[in-house]
Amino acid sequence: MLARVPDLPANDVMAVEQEIRRDWGGDRPYIAKSGEAGRIERTRREEAIRAEHRRGERPGFLSRKWGLSIRHVQRIVKEG
């Protein structure tokens, strides 16, 4: 991590890293994409999910494949 922020003192970088690990260690924080690119990507993903569902894939499988909750997959399928 020190190589990514060469202008900061090493002690500050290490303190920030320790705080991040303490607060987020083991978690997978989600940072949404914004703007047009994020919307286009979501639309493509949702269309792919709907197509796979029409071919017979179950929501549980699709949820694992796409990293979404089953409820979210069901909502996407229902909207389509």
Distances (CA, A) of 3 to 33, 50, 61: 26, 43, 40
Is the predicted pLDDT of residue 7 greater than 90, yes or no?
no
pTM of the complete model:
0.58
Evaluate whether 77 touches 52 at the Cβ level (below 8 Å): no
pLDDT score, position 38: 80
Report the helix count and the strand count for the chain, using DSSP H and E.
4, 0
For residue range 55-78, list pLDDT tens digits in order: 999 999 999 999 999 999 999 999
> Taking 60 as the threshold, does the pLDDT of residue 4 lie above it?
yes
Distance CA 66, CA 22 (A): 28
Residues 79, 72 contacting (CB under 8 angstroms): no
Share of the chain above pLDDT 70, in %: 94
* Spatial separation of the C-alpha atoms in residues 59 and 45, rounded to whole Å: 14
